Structure 1
Amino acid sequence: MTFKNTREFAQQLDQQDELKHYRDEFIFPQHNEKNVIYFTGNSLGLQPKIAKTYVDEVMNDWANLAVEGHFYAEKPWWDYHERFAEPLSKIVGAKPAEITVMNTLTVNLHLLMVSFYRPTKTRYKIICEEKAFPSDQYMFQSQVEHHGYDSKDTIIEIKRRDGEHNIRLEDILSKIEEIGDELALVLFGGVNYYTGQVFDMKTITEAGHKVGAIVGFDLAHAAGNIELHLHDWNIDFAAWCSYKYMNSGPGNASGCFIHEKHHNSNLPRFAGWWGNIKENRFKMEQKFNPIIGADGWQISNLPILSLAPYLASVEMFAKVGMPKLIKKRNQITAYLEFILHEIDNEIEGTEFEIITPGNQDERACQLSVFLHGQGRSLFDYLIKNGVITDWREPNVIRLAPVPFYTSYEDMYNFGQILKEGIQSLNN
């Protein structure tokens, strides 16, 4: 498609958008009595209007039924989490029994490491990406130190080559082969939070397994954003937060994937009564008898008030399906990229360097942009003029046009505000 940097063209794309009515299903912050242009769904998704209905339903059941809500609510609390298995399995490409929801993301990664990071005297190293999200870095460090290893020797970061912004797949694969028999675990982000680079999870998993390592992924920026086939890719485990692309609310519950090949294994885990088989759970037996499946990794009964808005969003995903979301994602991100280049060309002395891969197979919603010649003042200008975006040092803005609720006219309007901001700051 040949794009145009005009309002009329953007409005035409919006008219053709089969997902356009979903924009009205979300609540936008307001700026001068208009919806903001919201680019930070990669940090916190907007609130679906229906989320309040789901939360109110739980509040009403709590008020009217109290403890009996566990069994007699319209959506009984004791099996509330089971409603996620089918729709989430389609979002991440898994079998329903491989999916559970519990805790928050880093908590779940720590718990999964109990099962899947089993270092020995000779096989103990972990491979991850350079500039992984800080929580992952802290998790790696504390886990290896808990096992008595030196993190400097144990954690191997795959680095970007000098002068490059993204990690080459060939460098990941060669490092996996090089570490070989010493490698216990490969744990990458599915999408790098800083650059927006999408990693080839299938190929990385195959390489890790070839040398005898376990392979897992932090899918915080991937779930609900990219096409995933966790089961078919033979990934051992994964976890993700729900409050970014899946719009469940700040700090909300995490999803977990555990491949079915591990369900009947003797892997150690930190046990709790909610992971015990349902038939015997309320017999309060002394010996732990885990559910066969990902639910067997649960520990405590679930925070239903937190799960309610997550369920509302997941059911929206089920109605739309990932193929339609990905189709719009690809086009609206390409249009945003076009707008950035157009503004760059219109203003002398300005250079925007998009550090997210240009190859559609290696990126998703997010474009990370170096603002050469511009600083924090431009970001502040955008915020003051109704564009909510994200700043990362030293001078990167992250832009995530989420297909559920961003419009093509948003992309055009952003370009005009960006141009005005640069011109006003340069004068």
Structure 2
Amino acid sequence: MQFENSRKFARQLDKEDKLSKYRDEFIFPRVNGKEVIYFVGNSLGLQPRSAKKYVDEIMKDWAELAVEGHFYAEKSWWDYHERFSEKLAKVVGANPSEVTVMNTLTVNLHLLMVSFYRPSGKRYKIICEEKAFPSDQYMISSQVRFHGYDPDDAIVEIKKRDGENNFRTEDVLEKIKEVGEECALVLIGGVNYYTGQVFDMETITKAGHDVGAFVGWDLAHGAGNIELKLSEWNVDFAAWCSYKYMNSGPGNASGCFINQKYHNKKDIPRFEGWWGHNKERRFLMEPEFQPEPTADAWQISNAPILAMAPYLASLEMFDEVGMPALIEKRNKIVAYLEFVLHEIDKDVDSTFEIITPAEQENRGTQLSVFLHGEGKELFRYLMDKGVITDWREPNVIRLAPAPFYCSFEDMYNFGQILKEGILSKQKT
């Protein structure tokens, strides 16, 4: 398609957009009396209008049924988490039995490391990406120290080549091969939080298995954003937060994937609790743990129902729309944003460098942009004008036009505000 940087063209794209009606299903903050242009769905998704209804249902049941809500609420609490399995499995490309919802992201990664980081003899090293999201860095470092290893020795970082913004798959594969039989675990963020690069998870997973290692993925920026086929790729485990592209609310519950080949095993190392115990016998209070025959065996405590309610509300929309339709719009709106940025770049004495891969298969919703010659004052200008975006030092803004609620006219309007901000600064 031949794009045009005009309001008329953007509105025509919105008119043709099959998902445009879902914009009204979300609540936008307002700045200066106008709805914001919201580019930070990669940090916190907007609130679905239906979220309050789902939470209110729980509050009503709590008020009217109290403890009996566990069994007699319309959406009974004791099996509330099971309502996620089939819908969430479609989002991440899994069997329903392989997904569960519990805790929060880093907590779940720690719990999964109990099962899948099992250093022994010379096999003790973990391969991760350089400058992973800080929480992952802290988590991995604390895990290797817990097992008595020196992080400087046990953690092997894959690095970018000098002068390049993204990781090369061949370098990842070479590092896995180099570490070889010393590698206990490969654990990488499936979508790099800084650049928005999507890793070749299928190829990397196979390479990790070829050297005898477990392979897991932090999908904080992947779930609800990109096509995932965790079962088909034979991933061992994965975890993701739900408050970014999946719009479940701040700090909300995390999803987990555990490959079915590890189900129904009593001997697998695992921190256990009563919600992972055989559902049919859970209230018999038996002394011996009998794991659920699914990923639910990794649950520990009873489900945080009030937290899960907004997640379920959002997931209903994902199920209604489907990932293929979301990805189709994502590709189009990100391409249009990229076009608008290049067009504005021609009109101002500045240089934008998009450090996210240009290839569609190597990126998701996010574009990370170096604003050469521009400082944080431009970011503040955008925020004051109602463009909610994300600043990363030294001079990068991350733009994530979530396909559920961002419009093509938003992309055009952003370009005009960006242009005004740069030109107004140049005049002073």
State the TM-score, normalizing by the size of structure 2. 0.99
Q: After superposition, where does 1:209-248 map in structure 2 within 5 Å?
A: 209-248=209-248
Letter in 2 for 1:88: L
CA distance in 1, matches of 2:200, 2:210: 16
The aligned counterpart of 2:27 is 27
Contact 2:126/2:184 (8 A) holds in 1: yes
CA distance in 2, matches of 1:79, 1:263: 19
The aligned counterpart of 2:197 is 197
CA distance in 2, matches of 1:131, 1:375: 23
Q: Deviation string for 1:264-291 (max 9, x for gaps)?
A: 3321100000000011100111111110
CA distance in 2, matches of 1:395, 1:121: 44
CA distance in 2, matches of 1:23, 1:31: 18
Structure 2 unaligned residues grouped into runs of 5+: none
Q: Does structure 1 residue 327 correspond to structure 2 residue 333? A: no
- Note the C-alpha offset of 1:39: 0.1
Contact 2:264/2:291 (8 A) holds in 1: no
Q: Does structure 1 residue 97 correspond to structure 2 residue 90? A: no
The aligned counterpart of 2:276 is 275
Q: After superposition, where does 1:36-75 map in structure 2 within 5 Å?
A: 36-75=36-75
Letter in 2 for 1:153: D
- Note the C-alpha offset of 1:32: 2.1
Q: Deviation string for 1:371-426 (max 9, x for gaps)?
A: 00001000000000000000000000000000000000000000000000001111
CA distance in 2, matches of 1:42, 1:165: 19
The aligned counterpart of 1:152 is 152
- Note the C-alpha offset of 1:3: 0.4
The aligned counterpart of 1:111 is 111
State the TM-score, normalizing by the size of structure 1. 0.99
CA distance in 2, matches of 1:344, 1:131: 29
Q: Deviation string for 1:315-360 (max 9, x for gaps)?
A: 1100000000000000000000000000001112x00000000000
The alignment partner of 1:101 has SS state of strand
CA distance in 2, matches of 1:304, 1:80: 7
Q: After superposition, where does 1:25-424 map in structure 2 within 5 Å?
A: 25-265=25-265, 266-348=267-349, 350-424=350-424
CA distance in 1, matches of 2:273, 2:213: 27
The alignment partner of 2:138 has SS state of helix
Q: After superposition, where does 1:11-26 map in structure 2 within 5 Å?
A: 11-26=11-26
- Note the C-alpha offset of 1:33: 1.8
The alignment partner of 2:122 has SS state of coil
The alignment partner of 1:282 has SS state of helix
- Note the C-alpha offset of 1:77: 0.1
Q: Deviation string for 1:217-258 (max 9, x for gaps)?
A: 000000000000000000000000000000000000000000
The alignment partner of 2:127 has SS state of strand
CA distance in 2, matches of 1:346, 1:153: 50
The alignment partner of 2:365 has SS state of coil
Counting aligned pairs with the same residue, the percent is 73
The alignment partner of 1:216 has SS state of strand
Letter in 2 for 1:259: N
CA distance in 2, matches of 1:340, 1:178: 40
| Number of residues of Structure 1 aligned to a counterpart in Structure 2 | 426
CA distance in 2, matches of 1:409, 1:242: 27
CA distance in 2, matches of 1:117, 1:135: 17
